Amino acid sequence: MTDRPDQTDDNPITTRRGIRSFVLRQGRMTVGQKNAYDRCWPKYGLTRDGGVIDPREVFGRSAPLNLEIGFGMGKSLAEMAANAPEQDFIGVEVHLPGVGALLKEVEERGLENVRAYNVDANDVIDLCLPDACLDRAMVFFPDPWHKKRHHKRRLIQPEFVQRLRHKLRVGGILHLATDWENYAEHMMEVMMSAEGFANTEEGSGFAPRPDHRPITKFEQRGERLGHGVWDLLFRRTN
């Protein structure tokens, strides 16, 4: 198997310095994932080197645009795209087997409304997305970094949320979900104090799971372990 071109010393997974919210796990794609990747990446893959995209050119149409950060193995993203063919979806995932798994789903389902990045989401936000292009941004079940000394690694932080805000159109939705109560409380604290966002629920209330968010394996695992699941939906107001 050949490595994807981004993961080299000259073209790393991220260009950002400092604390990372992810650790690159060692792992290889299955034969099926590798074959799907080789066949589909030229059509469905997006690269940091491509610079700022025009979504209308990428998808060949003007349609509501969704971004999922950290799509894992891609099943939920593929399901959302299959259920909403009138919308377009961009997924970001640093782990190559996950990208291969998504492209396998895309190929098997015949989806035309999905594209993927295989780099740090921070780079996608800073270097690839035009301002006010997104109707919805989604971060489902990010690594909770549950040890207190690791909380600084959590993706949902005030600075990250503000950078993402500028990529949402006014009225667009930031949708977060976690099965760790402490992280849910942290997310709510960040979002309630975030400039330019308003909770779609009253006060600091969590939202019921919207129909468009599939129940993921992480959610099922959490339910088995007796964890709750918390959804936060915040609208960009300015």
Annotated catalytic sites, by residue?
143
In 3D space, the residue among 54, 56, 63 whose CA is nearest the CA of residue 129 turns out to be 54
Look-up of token digits 């995932």: 93
Cβ(51)–Cβ(128) below 8 Å: yes
What's the distance, Cα to Cα, between the start and end of the chain in Å? 46
Per DSSP, the residues of 45-82 read EE-GGG-S--HHHHHTS---EEEEE--TTSHHHHHHHH
As to burial, measured by CB atoms within 10 angstroms (0-12 exposed, 13-18 middle, 19+ buried), residue 117 is: buried
Core vs surface per residue 89-113: b (16+ CB within 10 A) or e: bbbbbbbbbbbbbbbbbbbeeebeb
What proportions of the chain, in percent to the nearest 5, are helix, strand and coil? 35, 20, 45
Name the phi and psi angles at 70, rounded to 5: 75, 65
Tokens of 133: 């292009």
